[in-house]
Amino acid sequence: MREIVFDTETTGLSPERGDRLVEIGCVELVNRVETGRHFHAYFNPERSMPSEAEAVHGLSSIFLSDKSLFADKVEELLEFIGESPLVAHNATFDFGFLNWELSACGRPPVCMTRMVDTLALARTRHPGAKHSLDALCSRYGIDRSHRVKHGALLDAQLLAQLYVELTGGRQIGFALKAEEPVVAIASVAAEAVSVPRPVRPPRPHAASAEELARHAAFVSKLSDPLWVGMVGNDVMA
């Protein structure tokens, strides 16, 4: 199965209030394995970059000023994602910006039924825990030491690893036939029953007269033993 894990960077939180998509990174998975194919692009938002957003991803208005418009890259993007499911962290945010940009250049939106939200997966699997990308990478031992700022392609690559872990790890789909261990166990049990075993005569276990005498001598030397005054049957009760 082919899936696309993607992430976006923007000028803010709301396309309806004028914020724009400035970066997208997409990573291809086939059967939960990265193929090495990816799509990555920066976009000129045709507006200024708020300082709060720049502090998150480090993309300045000057850096983006000579980059392509979203409309110039839309065909290449749509060709890459195809009809595959799209995986994102807090996916409604990324889908909202992607579909707003598609609508702005006269393209139909991506159907929300294609959305796979790793944030929702993480909340189900780890209720009450922290669900940021950083926190989840730490939980699953995914190396994020090179993540100084948010970056769409880097975050998509980290998210691809996280998605694999959230959906069962590298051995997803691996299973043994149920009958194999049952047959093996039954076979071993049958062999164990059929193996002849030597019959040993019972070994004597009663104390000898000499042992009883030594025991009585030892007990007589004890100071204030607990069983003094107790009846033998009471001790065993």
Q: Which pLDDT value is given to residue 135? A: 96
Q: How confident is the model over 124-142, as a mean pLDDT? A: 96
Residue 3 sits at φ, ψ, to 5 deg, of -135, 150
| Average pLDDT of the residues in 94-110 | 97
Spell out the domains of the chain, with CATH numbers in brackets. 2-166 (3.30.420.10)
Answer whether 0.85 is exceeded by the pTM: no
**Nearest-angstrom CA–CA distance, 5 and 85:** 8
Spatial CB neighbours of 215, under 8 Å, sequence gap ≥ 6: 207
Residue 69 corresponds to which amino acid?
Answer: L
Convert the pLDDT of each residue in 20-39 to its tens digit: 999 999 999 999 999 999 99
**HSE-CB of 171 using CA atoms within 13 angstroms:** 3
Binding residue ranges for substrate: 7, 9, 52, 57, 155
- The confidence score (pLDDT) of residue 171 equals 54
Which segments are annotated as binding site for a divalent metal cation?
Answer: 7, 9, 155
Q: Return mean pLDDT, the chain.
A: 86
| Percent of the chain clearing pLDDT 90 (strictly above) | 68
User: In this model, does residue 205 exceed pLDDT 50?
Assistant: yes
Q: If you average pLDDT over residues 147-167, what whole number do you get?
A: 93
pLDDT grade, residue 224 (50/70/90)? confident
| 40 noted as active-site residue | no
Q: List pLDDT tens digits, range 181-193.
A: 333 333 333 444 4
Cα separations in angstroms, 187 against 61, 180, 182: 72, 11, 9
Catalytic position from the list 40, 150, 205, 215? 150
Average pLDDT over residues 96-125: 97
Residues placed in the known binding site? 7, 9, 52, 57, 155
Give the DSSP letter of residue 114.
G
